[in-house]
Structure 1
């Protein structure tokens, strides 16, 4: 049963992909400052962050929302050149 989920922008995106994307975009320091999630501040690693986010729904929601806003902003940026 492989139905598309057109109303779910996170469909097919893993939590690991989301964290890696945000770290690449902002770095650990900004992530910690913006989200107020300690796993991004104290000795942050992908694995420790994933472990925390998987068992903490409010934190996961914050991270997913930041991902969606960041992706939307990237799509809405005007392209240079042309």
Structure 2
């Protein structure tokens, strides 16, 4: 029996882990250039960014895609 999550590179990884790894790799400034959203540009913090990403699917999709292309 195969798992439906077997081919999902994000399975088991929280949004907080994704964001923290991207910030550690790129930094807030470069992350804001790659994904131009205000929560990365203006006084960025993990808390405000997670709140925005949880409410805004298109931005979350971009963050997840960047994570997969960077670390997969």
Runs of 4 or more off by more than 6 Å in structure 1? Answer: none
Post-superposition shift, 1:38? 1.3
Structure 1, gaps ≥5 residues long: 73-82
CA RMSD of aligned residues (A): 1.1
Structure 2, gaps ≥5 residues long: none
2:27 matched to 1:27? yes
Q: Any idea what the Cα deviations from partners look like across 1:20-51, whole Å, max 9, x if unmatched?
A: 00000000000001111111010000000000
Larger Cα-atom Rg: 1
**CA distance in structure 1 between the partners assigned to 2:32 and 2:46 by the alignment:** 13
Query: What residue in structure 2 maps to residue 61 of structure 1?
Result: 61
**CA distance in structure 2 between the partners assigned to 1:5 and 1:35 by the alignment:** 26
Secondary structure at the aligned position of 2:48 is classed as helix
Q: Which has the higher contact order (CA 8 A, sep 6+)?
A: 2
TM-score (norm 1): 0.81
